[in-house]
């Protein structure tokens, strides 16, 4: 998708640019991330899928991949460094939400609430191992996704957006799925079952990117025109340990 930008919009360094929609995209990203990690794991679902039979998955897999789509959009339009700030915002929000959930579960219930305590523990009482797995997998997978996206944009000279949205997601989701299920369940789940669950989740999450490609194209095109930005990470420091834009 070719987007014509005003040459005057390129005169300011990205760090000095003011964007109309960057903060809104960040807020949407963090919202999706929190909902997928707090609400999604509360239910495991089994649905019939043509040719595959009955597939079992954590409900959050339906929505968590949207965070990777937002990561693609952020990197494509605003660049790796600005997406890096969003990933750190999501990391901090996820860490705080996990801490808050553990405190709420640990608080002693009032007399009239004791009958509901079990439900609260079931929904929000993730073990420290699962919480750590979720946070580590998200952090590593998101940065792999953004790095591959930025590098592929340089390799393709900004052409063939679909190749880098799909390619970066395949890499990022592979790291995310492998880390999460290994850290969370290795040693407590049968190895064959664990491998099957990891592969199923990876395929489902990656498939979302392919399905959402037309929407990604439209959003990226709109933001590039509205923001007058189409960032190329030619001189970017790709360290994940920075908040500099």
Looking at residue 186, what DSSP letter applies? B
Rg (CA), the chain: 20
Is a pLDDT exceeding 80 seen at residue 213?
A: yes
- For residues 25 and 122, the model is more confident at 25
Distance CA 187, CA 195 (A): 12
Of the candidate ranges 55-59, 108-112, 159-163, 179-183, the one whose mean pLDDT is the lowest: 55-59
Distance CA 30, CA 36 (A): 10
> Burial of 39 by CB count in 10 Å (0-12 exposed, 13-18 middle, 19+ buried)?
middle
Please state which CATH number belongs to domain 19-106+119-227. 1.10.1760
Distance CA 170, CA 183 (A): 20
pTM for this model (two decimals): 0.88
Query: What is the predicted pLDDT for the residue at 6?
Result: 47
Reduce the DSSP state of residue 67 to 3 states and report it: helix
| pLDDT tens-digit readout, 104-156 | 999 999 999 999 999 888 888 877 888 899 999 999 999 999 999 999 999 99
Reduce the DSSP state of residue 53 to 3 states and report it: strand
Chain mean pLDDT for the chain: 88
Distance CA 62, CA 132 (A): 21
Reduce the DSSP state of residue 236 to 3 states and report it: coil
Backbone phi and psi for residue 231, each to the nearest 5 degrees, phi listed first: -80, 140
Domain regions of the chain by residue span: 19-106+119-227
């Amino acid at each position: 998708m070719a987007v014509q930008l005003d040459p005057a919009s390129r005169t300011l360094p990205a760090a000095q640019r003011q964007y109309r929609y960057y903060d809104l995209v960040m807020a949407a990203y963090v919202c999706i991330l929190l909902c997928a990690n707090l609400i999604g794991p509360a239910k495991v679902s089994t649905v019939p899928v043509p040719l595959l039979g009955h597939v079992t998955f954590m409900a959050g897999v339906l929505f968590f991949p949207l965070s990777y789509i937002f990561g693609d959009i952020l990197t494509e339009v605003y660049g790796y460094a600005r997406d890096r700030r969003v990933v750190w915002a999501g990391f901090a929000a996820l860490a705080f939400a996990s801490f808050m959930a553990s405190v709420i579960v640990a608080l002693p219930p009032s007399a009239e609430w004791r009958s509901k305590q079990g439900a609260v523990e079931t929904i929000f009482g993730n073990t420290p191992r699962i919480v750590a797995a979720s946070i580590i997998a998200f952090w590593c997978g998101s940065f792999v996704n953004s790095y591959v996206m930025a590098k592929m944009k340089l390799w393709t000279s900004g052409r063939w957006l679909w190749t880098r949205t799909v390619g970066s997601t395949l890499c990022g989701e592979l790291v995310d799925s492998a880390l999460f299920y290994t850290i969370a369940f290795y040693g407590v789940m049968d190895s064959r079952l664990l491998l099957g669950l990891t592969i199923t989740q990876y395929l489902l999450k990656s498939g979302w990117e392919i399905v959402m490609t037309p929407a990604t194209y439209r959003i990226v095109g709109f933001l590039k025109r509205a923001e007058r930005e189409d960032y190329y990470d030619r001189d970017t420091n790709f360290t994940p340990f920075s908040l500099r834009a």
